Amino acid sequence: MLVETVFRSEDVPAAERFACYRELMSLAYAPIELRSDHAADFRVHQRLVRLGAVSVWPGEFQPLVFRRTPKLIRQSDPEVYQLTLVLKGSGRLTLGRQEATVDAYEFHSNDSSRPSETWTGQEPTGIVGVEFPKAQLPLMRGRADRAIGRRMSAKEGVGALLAQFLTQLTRSTDQYTLDDGPRLGTVLTDLVAALFAHTLAAEKSLTPEAHGRTLPLLIQAFIQQHLRDPDLTPPSIAAAHHISLSYLHRLFQDEGTTVASWIRRQRLERARHNLTDPALRDVPIHSIAACWGFAHPTDFSRAFRTAYGLPPKDYRKRAAHSAAQTRG
């Protein structure tokens, strides 16, 4: 199991909660000033997950102000970058002369070596924060600094891929072993580097090793976003990523599959999900199949039965019956 620490305000007397949380943040990250209008009875639930040198912070807390001053930086600087996925609420970041607002499903970034101030909105905020040593980020010198403070979407492209990775990772850490931690940390920093590079429109700034590790993930994210497109083919995918068709096929062979098989599996999974959705129970099966790129119902039925052991019609009936029993 991964190394994980949990802090819940309800486990601490109300009068001590804010001071305890402030101490936790200063010890786990760096000396920091915290202010809140709710300090008298502060509510927070925060976890700290260690992935080798990388830390991940899923949490939810009441409105806060975080502040790193020049004096605090001189006192202690861990030389780290922070990237925060906002899941609920909003915020505003001041970083030197830069100022940016952040809404739900956006990222904001920070640098432990630069004075900053972050305000969360008036409602409770839900986040997944990531903290990693600057030296570990596989970007050419100076590139990461230029990305810090910029708005980055978590709704599409590389940002959506990173957000999916973070939410899945933090949903349940008991499915991973202690040895998985450093490897997951490497994947995470590669994805962050890809997001920074994408934000700067300069993917060439990635080191060759990091680009090689992230390229399959970027291609898979591209496929996921274009599954409804009937023109989604191996040649179009290769062209979109400026690689040869043979190299694309080799990337998927290294994963033990083919491009066409991977696309078909993703489309089948989307169709399967639609067939179990009560809101779509009146949508004809052939319409769902066509929506996900299966032009011929018989081909869809055959592929679906091979993948899930039942024809689509029977699978939908079984799912509806199970849902009815659960409600009953």
What would the CATH number be for the domain defined by 229-328? 1.10.10.60
pLDDT for 182-236, tens place per residue?
A: 889 988 998 998 898 888 765 555 667 766 777 887 788 788 778 888 889 999 9
pLDDT tens track for 247-277: 999 988 887 889 999 899 989 988 998 998 8
Place of tokens 């850490």: 173
Which H helix or E strand runs over 100? strand 98-102
39 has a pLDDT exceeding 60: yes
Residue 51 sits at φ, ψ, to 5 deg, of -120, 70
The yes-or-no verdict on residue 140 having pLDDT over 70 is no
| pLDDT for position 156 | 86
Q: If pLDDT is split at 50, 70 and 90, which confidence band does 51 have?
A: very high
The predicted structure's pLDDT at residue 65: 94
Q: Are strands 3-8 and 44-51 parallel, antiparallel or unpaired?
A: antiparallel
Q: Does residue 297 contact residue 269 with C-beta atoms inside 8 Å? A: no
Is 229-328 the same fold as 3-225?
no
Please answer whether residues 140 and 207 qualify as being in contact, where contact means their C-beta atoms are separated by less than 8 angstroms.
yes
From the number of C-beta atoms within 10 Å of its C-beta (0-12, 13-18, 19+), residue 155 rates as exposed
Highest CATH level, class, for 3-225: mainly beta
Is 28 buried (19+), middle (13-18) or exposed (0-12) by CB count in 10 A?
middle
Domain boundaries, the chain: 3-225, 229-328
CA dist., res. 95 & res. 82, Å (int): 13
pTM for the full model? Answer: 0.68
Nearest to 262 by CA among 271, 272, 252: 252
